[in-house]
Structure 1
Amino acid sequence: MKKAYGKKAKIITLSTVLMATVMAGCSSEKPQEGATAAPSGTSASAYPKAFSYWAELDGDSAISMKNFNENAAYKEMEKITGTKVDFKHPTGGSTQIQEQFNLMVASRNLPDAVQTNWFNVARGPQSAIEDGTIIRLNDLIDKHAPNFKKYLSEHPDIASMIKTDKGDIYAFPFIRGDDKIKVYYGPVIRKDWLDKVGLEAPTTIDEWEKVLIAFRDKDPNGNGKKDEIPFLLEASTVRNDLLNAMIGAWGILDKFYQKDGKIQYGEMQPEFKDFLTTMNRWYKDGLIDKDFAAVDGKLKDAKTSNNQLGVLYGYSSGTIGKFTDLMKDSVPGFKMIALPNPTLKKGDTPAAGMISPTYPGEHSVAITTAAKEPEKIVKWLDYAYGQEGHMLFNFGIKGQSYELVNGKPVYTDTIKANPNKLTFKQAQSQFMRSQYGGPFVQDVESFLQQMKYPEQLDSLDIWSKAKNQLQLPLMTLTADESKKLASIMNDINTFSDEMIVKFIMGAEPIDNFPQYVEKLKKFGIEDAIKIQQSAFDRYSKR
């Protein structure tokens, strides 16, 4: 479930999103039980003969295909609807893809449909409608999307999330269909190391420190060298609104959050100074990896694979599952488990942990003003929100990628033990879209069946135990608000990214924190808080 909101903040500097959830299609909450794939009597002629569709080709799909037309779900869609989709895939990393999107919009060389995060668009989705880039979908959904219309009537909270402040629906959304899908990231510890040093899994910051000192001093990897890295705190996660790595222990979030309806900015709070003070002490005492400021995914993997790393933040599948597979033969007794999000006081419920929104904004499909038959594209997109489309996009092709076992879809060995040595998600990408996202409701079973080990399933429950009442929803800004907020936050993010690393590493004395707060005020943080407050108030009235 993909990536940290920090990147979004740098593009549009919208506030932290929070939330999370997911709507199970074939589990406890099927999205469209009883809905038809299309209106009764609909023929293939009701769908477009062809249309163009701009969407990122994700990394898992790119391993085995050059185009989504090679995906089995889309092949099946072509058989059902008679529609030939001309997929257009941007290339490069996230920055390059955003640049290509901006150029496409500016040149008005638009495809018929665009899948992206419309909150990343300059001035937001309402402006994209008003400037003639995309069309308002309310009436088209009402007339031509019975599956999605029914879903929204049964989930009015989702209907509110996908509208602008003016009430306009701008895209067909990706929805997480169950609460279990919203939490997939948190603190992870080497349980076999804990056993070797004779300690229990820590729950408070003080207990964390005791464990980290033991990992530093007691040779838990057993090689006779003092080469253990007690804790890998990644600089990129410290200011990450979605992941909330560690900062929730102090009862705040790192950037924008709300408390009793009032917008706060975490990095101005005295609790944030306390957090920095603790991290600075841990860094000086050798409890935090010396490469803290520069670590990337490859370096993180290398340190873990080298049996050096005790505690890190990671994923249920991409960390616990991945390294259990990788290390179980080379390191006897290797065991990774999830830790609860830490607190300051024993027995307290954590204020915040990682939680992904029910509607994350990503992978949403808007229809552009270039489309000649938008009502037919709406019908095509609506198919995924019916029961047949739900199964197709979450599980692929019956008899190939899944079978029904006691009425429940279960992935076959084509997915679980791919004969071509593809990973679970890479194999999924050949048959369905559930591993990445798109305009449909994600089924909880498509997520849970990735979990090979009990420690992975346990992690979902452990990380879910947080209040998560501080986070902000996805809010829409006016064009003027968006422009002003972006200008303020671009400067603040550049400044804070540098300063917080300096505070933790000791290059900037913690005693200079008041001057840091004053600089934030000079950059305009108080005006940014007012903008976010206005947007939050409007959202609350929807």
Structure 2
Amino acid sequence: MKKIAIRKTSVFMLLFLLLVVSALTGCKSSKEVEKKSSGKDDGSLTLSYWVSNNRPDTLKDYNEMGAYKKLQEVTDVKVEFQHPASGEADQQFNLMMASGELPDVIERIWPSVPGGPEKYIKDKKIVRLNDYIDQHAPNLKKILEENPEWKKMISTDDGSIYSFPFLRQDEVNLTFFGPVLRKDWLDKLGLETPETIDEWHKVLTAFKEQDPNGNGEADEIPLLIDKDALTSNAFVGAFGITNGFYQVDSKVKYGPIQPEYKEFLTLMNKWYEEGLIDKEYVATDDNLKDAKVTNDQLGALMGYTGSSIMRYMQLKEGENPDFKLTGAQYPVFKKGEVPAFNLGENNYNGVGAAITTSNKNIEETVKWMDYKYGEEGFKLFNFGIEGESYEMIDGYPTYTEIVTDNPDGKSMSEGLAMYVPAGWSGPFIQAKEYAEQYTSMPEQQEAIEAWKKGSNERIMPMVSPTQEESSEYASIMNDIGTYKSEMINKFIMGEEPLSKFDDFVKTINSMGIDKATEIQQAALERYNKR
């Protein structure tokens, strides 16, 4: 009997141990599932991250970039980047939002989304970040407290902060685009860089008639504008208006229906008829533009400090050492006048990284994003890896030759892209030291000084229509934009006489421009009250 009792006790003990082990195993499995579903694995965090910004062709995705490689080492956060194909970003974004299958983070230009970013907060697609920034993002919080105007820019009319923003630190970061001319042609013909419309006419006429490329043929193209005449804002601005909405004493106006716009089109048509504007401007894409510059045909265009002045001068360095470009101020009518407009960029251009409501680790993601706004993250995303892509010289973060004079023949923009996104955008603050070094050529510096001139008092800030206004506004402006572009080209090329300008204005009025202007006016008033 005693032996039987002992056996029964042993069996019961064995069953009890099996139950305990089973229970413990079950608990462990539950935790593993929880970790997997939350994106965590062995204490690390994995984020899905969708980026609509253009990136260089040299990068397959951001994980190839030195800054993000180092960030993973420092934070132990892994990122699965998703990059939509060129031209498909908006379509993918809209499908993503409609499906509800969202990544953890979405980086894009947010103020332009249908309904504005506040709509996606109210629809519970992206997270309102104000409280999270207060509690878990000390670096960004400090920056916004020190720069209240930046906070105003990155907030909605309701006061919501919807993304970790791309911010540009200094005026030098905001000045990178304007009129560009062949300086060697100006010097050869004994001409000064033009400031007034009359001086531009004189220069362009000389480019056409005096064979500045010296090949004995009349093959020079004095000026290239783009097919929507948008880059000719440099000239339309001389009339005190823009190709879109602008403001005068806080009253919103639409440029193309103003009497001054007819004067602008008359000027462009006159120059076109005189052969001063490229006859093929409507069909000229970036590749054809490059060919016209490098074949010594093009005298003037609208361009950038990096992809135009620096790139073209580097491309021509060995072939034509005399090739030189310069920047001109935005034109005026009277010598000494301050241009009404220049590029007109704000410290915030709308790019930011929003956290979606699908993210199961919001606080951890906020902390990870905030790293970029601290001292180390600031250096990492502007300059890359110390000792590799930059060195500290007398307290100044200085790019090394792997960026500035790449041994594999990469351009500086390609060299930068191996390490940092400072050459385009992202959720960080773009350093003035980046801009200073990226525009260190004397010709670039000269251009920046010229392009900086301009009051920009009439520029519209980055306003946002409400969710209710957005659909109607988009519908109106999509139709007007298509019609406007078509008619502008016809007026410039003489396919439509300028005597029909009043009919053009009537048509735009009939398409609802008053309502669109009213929406912009309300948005401006809300912005001013932020």
- Using structure 2 for the length normalisation, give the TM-score: 0.90
One-letter amino acid of the structure 1 residue matched with residue 123 of structure 2: D
State the Cα deviation string for residues 199-223 of structure 1 (Å, max 9, x = none): 2221111111111111111111111
One-letter amino acid of the structure 2 residue matched with residue 145 of structure 1: A
- How far 1:57 sits from its partner (Å)? 6.7
Q: Matched residues in 1 for 2:404 and 2:321: separation?
A: 25
Q: Matched residues in 2 for 1:164 and 1:88: separation?
A: 26
Moved more, 429-438 or 284-293: 429-438
Q: Matched residues in 2 for 1:57 and 1:208: separation?
A: 36
CA contact (8 A) 1:48 1:373 kept: no
| 1:68 equivalent among 55, 62, 70 | 62
Moved more, 103-112 or 501-510: 103-112
Alignment of 1:266-285 (within 5 A): 266-285=255-274
One-letter amino acid of the structure 2 residue matched with residue 259 of structure 1: V
**Residue in 2 that maps onto 1:15:** none
Q: What SS is found at the alignment partner of 2:315? A: helix
**Residue in 2 that maps onto 1:425:** 413
Q: Matched residues in 2 for 1:342 and 1:359: separation?
A: 26
CA contact (8 A) 2:221 2:276 kept: yes
Moved more, 209-218 or 405-414: 209-218
2:291 maps to 1:291: no
Aligned residues: CA RMSD? 1.7
2:382 maps to 1:391: no
- How far 1:316 sits from its partner (Å)? 1.1
Q: What SS is found at the alignment partner of 1:404? A: strand
State the Cα deviation string for residues 293-316 of structure 1 (Å, max 9, x = none): 121111111111111111111111
**Residue in 2 that maps onto 1:372:** 360
Q: Matched residues in 2 for 1:272 and 1:313: separation?
A: 20
Q: Matched residues in 1 for 2:477 and 2:404: separation?
A: 44
- How far 1:330 sits from its partner (Å)? 2.3
Alignment of 1:146-185 (within 5 A): 146-185=138-177
| 1:221 equivalent among 213, 216, 228 | 213
- How far 1:420 sits from its partner (Å)? 1.9
**Residue in 2 that maps onto 1:37:** none
Structure with more helix by fraction: 2
| 2:116 equivalent among 115, 119, 124 | 124
| 2:192 equivalent among 200, 208, 211 | 200
Q: Matched residues in 1 for 2:461 and 2:44: separation?
A: 35
Q: Which runs of 5+ in 2 are unaligned?
A: 1-39
Q: Taking structure 1 as reference, are residues 272 and 196 closer, same or farther at Cα in structure 2, changes over 3 Å only?
A: same
- How far 1:431 sits from its partner (Å)? 1.3
State the Cα deviation string for residues 96-153 of structure 1 (Å, max 9, x = none): 1211111111111101111011123211100011111101111111110011111111
**Residue in 2 that maps onto 1:311:** 300
- How far 1:71 sits from its partner (Å)? 1.6
2:341 maps to 1:352: yes
Q: Matched residues in 2 for 1:334 and 1:453: separation?
A: 14
One-letter amino acid of the structure 1 residue matched with residue 510 of structure 2: K
CA contact (8 A) 2:234 2:331 kept: no
**Residue in 2 that maps onto 1:251:** 240
Runs (4+) of structure 1 exceeding 6 A deviation are: none
CA contact (8 A) 1:321 1:452 kept: no
| 1:406 equivalent among 371, 394, 400 | 394
CA contact (8 A) 2:382 2:434 kept: yes
State the Cα deviation string for residues 348-377 of structure 1 (Å, max 9, x = none): 111111132210002x10000101110110
One-letter amino acid of the structure 1 residue matched with residue 143 of structure 2: Y
**Residue in 1 that maps onto 2:79:** 85
Aligned length: 491
- How far 1:197 sits from its partner (Å)? 2.1
Q: Matched residues in 1 for 2:183 and 2:454: separation?
A: 22
CA contact (8 A) 1:231 1:309 kept: yes
Q: What SS is found at the alignment partner of 1:377? A: helix
| 1:496 equivalent among 478, 484, 487 | 484
**Residue in 1 that maps onto 2:105:** 113
Q: Which runs of 5+ in 1 are unaligned?
A: 1-43
Q: What SS is found at the alignment partner of 1:54? A: strand
**Residue in 1 that maps onto 2:325:** 336
Q: Matched residues in 2 for 1:518 and 1:397: separation?
A: 58
**Residue in 2 that maps onto 1:541:** 529
**Residue in 2 that maps onto 1:32:** none
Q: Matched residues in 2 for 1:419 and 1:54: separation?
A: 32
CA contact (8 A) 1:115 1:365 kept: yes
One-letter amino acid of the structure 2 residue matched with residue 496 of structure 1: K
Q: Matched residues in 2 for 1:216 and 1:275: separation?
A: 21
| 1:55 equivalent among 41, 51, 54 | 51
State the Cα deviation string for residues 256-293 of structure 1 (Å, max 9, x = none): 00010100111011111001001001101111101121
Q: Matched residues in 2 for 1:305 and 1:51: separation?
A: 44
2:227 maps to 1:239: no
Q: Matched residues in 2 for 1:475 and 1:262: separation?
A: 14
More relative contact order, 1 or 2 (CA 8 Å, 6+ apart): 1
2:453 maps to 1:465: yes
CA contact (8 A) 1:57 1:67 kept: no
- How far 1:501 sits from its partner (Å)? 0.2
One-letter amino acid of the structure 2 residue matched with residue 335 of structure 1: K
The structure with the larger Rg is 2
CA contact (8 A) 2:144 2:151 kept: yes
**Residue in 2 that maps onto 1:30:** none
Q: Matched residues in 2 for 1:97 and 1:498: separation?
A: 25
Q: What SS is found at the alignment partner of 1:455? A: helix
Moved more, 214-223 or 321-330: 321-330
Q: Matched residues in 2 for 1:235 and 1:180: separation?
A: 29
**Residue in 1 that maps onto 2:475:** 487
State the Cα deviation string for residues 202-251 of structure 1 (Å, max 9, x = none): 11111111111111111111111111111112223x236xx833211111
State the Cα deviation string for residues 78-103 of structure 1 (Å, max 9, x = none): 1111111122222x223x12111111
One-letter amino acid of the structure 2 residue matched with residue 322 of structure 1: R
CA contact (8 A) 2:53 2:107 kept: no
**Residue in 1 that maps onto 2:22:** none
One-letter amino acid of the structure 2 residue matched with residue 458 of structure 1: E
One-letter amino acid of the structure 1 residue matched with residue 129 of structure 2: L
Q: Matched residues in 2 for 1:144 and 1:200: separation?
A: 55
Q: Taking structure 1 as reference, are residues 372 and 354 closer, same or farther at Cα in structure 2, changes over 3 Å only?
A: same
CA contact (8 A) 1:199 1:211 kept: yes
